[in-house]
Amino acid sequence: MYAITIPEPGGPEALVWDEVPDPVPGEGEVLVEVVASAVNRADILQRQGNYSPPPGASPYPGLECSGRIAALGPGVSGWSVGDEVCALLAGGGYAEKVAVPAGQLLPVPEGVDLKQAAALPEVACTVWSNVFMIAHLRPGENLLVHGGSSGIGTMAIQLGKAIGAKVAVTAGTKEKLDFCAELGADILVNYREQDFVAEVKQATDGAGVDVILDNMGAKYLDRNVRALAVNGRLAIIGMQGGVKGELNIGALLSKRAAISATSLRARPLAEKATIVAAVQEHVWPLIAQGHVRPVVDRELPMADAAQAQRVVEASEHIGKVLLVTG
């Protein structure tokens, strides 16, 4: 088969479409013939040499895919060769075939094209696990999503609205904010021109937001705490704004607030399977009912992964950028 390899870390040109051995599904795994994968910022970090795959994972980038089951490994039940699926991966999505633990497979949701289903697993699992399983967003609460026009952001807006929350977003252009509004976002903040703390406080009559989904890390830490309501929950899922920040413990205590920080890729298989099962139970029906949809900016041939990563690295997209094999 062919896959995107990284002979040496570097810029987008470090990604090489090359012939490699076919993966063989092990115990509890299935082999998926990949129709599409999606670009995530973790893939860019891996290309740069800053985010190695977990032990035993595929060395090729790609944290999600869609396709058809080509073979079943030992001990797999409930799936058949030919089934159309999408999957959460620890790596290997930028390839024509990938071996996937059966617990990380999802059926393609009703009403979703097989290619576009590749835009769903990583964002749905990230948002559901952080905003709902950890931060316990409830109907009537206020949710702030940083990077509202990103793949994760567009999913968070839709899921927040679907359960009855009021959603605030930050983004850097009017075009991106307008798109967030089309998805249902109630409070729109241009982070280049506005202070999100002041904006959300004004929009919530000074109360602040109950849950924040943050991709920035250190840069936003202090302001995120100030933007929280009493009993608020800050879920940190990225470090685009740095890794070390100063935390005012007094402010955190005064609000009885909580901070969580998670990553998905290196979690144990059992934890990933639990999240995937929760997504199938709670998110997939919302997709089938038309309340939530994948947001895809563009599709590029998988061999053009370098160009796809340039687009994502420059934040020129809204939603997800897909890599397709056909």
Q: What percent of the chain has pLDDT over 90?
A: 98
pLDDT in tens, 255-272: 999 999 999 999 999 999
Residues 190-198: what's their mean pLDDT?
A: 97
Vertex 278: Cα angle to 276 and 282 (nearest 5): 120
Residue 7: the pLDDT is 97
Residue 193: predicted pLDDT: 97
Half-sphere exposure of 151 (CA within 13 A, CB side): 25
For the segment 275-303, what is each residue's pLDDT rounded down to a tens digit?
999 999 999 999 999 999 999 999 999 99
Question: Whole-angstrom Cα distance, residue 208 to residue 306?
Answer: 40
Confidence check: pLDDT of 122 > 80:
yes
CA 22 – CA 97 distance, rounded (Å): 7
Q: Give the separation between CA 75 and CA 72, rounded to whole angstroms.
A: 8
pLDDT of residue 139: 98
Torsion of CA 159, 125, 285, 71, to 10 degrees: 160
What is residue 326's predicted lDDT score, i.e. its pLDDT? 77
Higher pLDDT, 266 or 91: 91
The residue-averaged pLDDT of 307-319 equals 97
Q: Please tell me what DSSP assigns to residue 23.
A: P
Q: Which residues 6+ apart lie within 8 Å of 205 measured at CB? A: none
How many helices (H) and strands (E) in the chain? Answer: 10, 15
Q: Report whether 146 contacts 127 (CB < 8 A).
A: no
Render pLDDT for 2-51 as a digit per residue (tens, 0 to 9).
999 999 999 999 999 999 999 999 999 999 999 999 999 999 999 999 99
Residues 95-114 have pLDDT tens digits of: 999 999 999 999 999 999 99
Match 């998670």 to its residue by tokens: 262
> What's the mean per-residue pLDDT of the chain?
97
Determine the pLDDT at residue 274: 98
